[in-house]
A = this chain, B = another copy of it.
Amino acid sequence: MASDQTRTAILAAAERLYADRGFGDVTLRDIVAEANVNLAAVNYHFGSKDELIAELFVTRSIQLNRERLRLLQAAEEAGDGRASIDAVLRALVGPTLRGCLGPENQRSTAARFMIRVSIESVPPIRRIRNREIDHLRKFIAAMRRSLPGHSDVELYWGLHFALAMAQQTVRDSERLTKLSEGKCDVDDVEGIIERVVSVAAMALTVGDARSKLPPRVLARDAR
């Protein structure tokens, strides 16, 4: 056991620096300076720089997934095992948006770190990302319970689009603010969640309508 205060100091310092300055230009020396520990400590406690980053990301991912599942379970229990599609989607995108949007000076280090992750992915993180699929399947299952009769394909697309909208909003909230000259309020987190949820929910219903149309009337455009 012993004092793993060095370990946690490194983790905290690294997360702070990565959150503020990105993965690109934070070196081990920056981290150990911030943490007031010796350069060799990182390799001693984590093995390598990549493993440090990975541990940081895994920790935060687990927290996010746990929060998502907590909301999902709560919603399903409240609905006797079947939550509304809105509630399922809210459980999916809510935690991300709640954590990573809102007034900038109120965002936790953890949130700012996860924003960085979504902006500039780095090899050790990308390797881990693949495990996310099992987690998402639980939401597909919940969506299936929520919308029985819907084709799976539509559920997958709906989930994909919901995540897309949430992710992009987190990633590029600055651009949206600039483009809209402030008219889109990215600090109104709950409003944004509802917006994403309602569009995604609608995508699910639209999808099925679409798939019943003959394909010809869909495609084709001035080219």
Binding site for B on A (CB under 8 A): 24, 71, 74-75, 78, 86-87, 90, 94, 119-123, 129-130, 132-133, 136-137, 140, 152-153, 156-157, 159-161, 163-165, 167-169, 172, 175-176, 178-180, 183-184, 190-191, 193-196, 198-199, 202-203, 206-207, 210, 215, 218-223
Q: With contacts A120-B120, A195-B207, A207-B195 known, is A156 near B179, CB below 8 A?
A: yes
Q: Are A191 and B164 in contact (CB under 8 A)?
A: no
Q: Are A221 and B94 in contact (CB under 8 A)?
A: yes
Bound Cα distance from A183 to B161, whole angstroms: 15
Q: How many copies does the complex hold?
A: 2
Q: Are B222 and A78 in contact (CB under 8 A)?
A: yes
Q: Are A161 and B199 in contact (CB under 8 A)?
A: yes
What residues of B have a CB within 8 angstroms of the CB of A165 in the complex? 161, 164-165
Find the B residue at minimum CB distance from A129.
B175
A-B contact pairs, 29 of them (CB 8 A): A24-B122, A71-B221, A74-B223, A75-B221, A120-B122, A129-B175, A130-B178, A136-B179, A137-B179, A140-B179, A156-B183, A156-B184, A160-B179, A161-B168, A163-B168, A164-B165, A164-B168, A165-B165, A168-B168, A190-B220, A193-B219, A194-B219, A195-B207, A195-B210, A198-B206, A198-B210, A199-B199, A199-B202, A202-B202
Most central of A132, A168, A207 by chain B CB within 10 Å: A168
- Of B164, B168, B169, B222, which one neighbours A71 at CB under 8 angstroms? B222
Most central of A136, A195, A215 by chain B CB within 10 Å: A195
Closest Cβ of chain B: how far from A119's Cβ, in Å?
7
What residues of B have a CB within 8 angstroms of the CB of A184 in the complex? 153, 156-157, 160
Q: Are B195 and A199 in contact (CB under 8 A)?
A: no
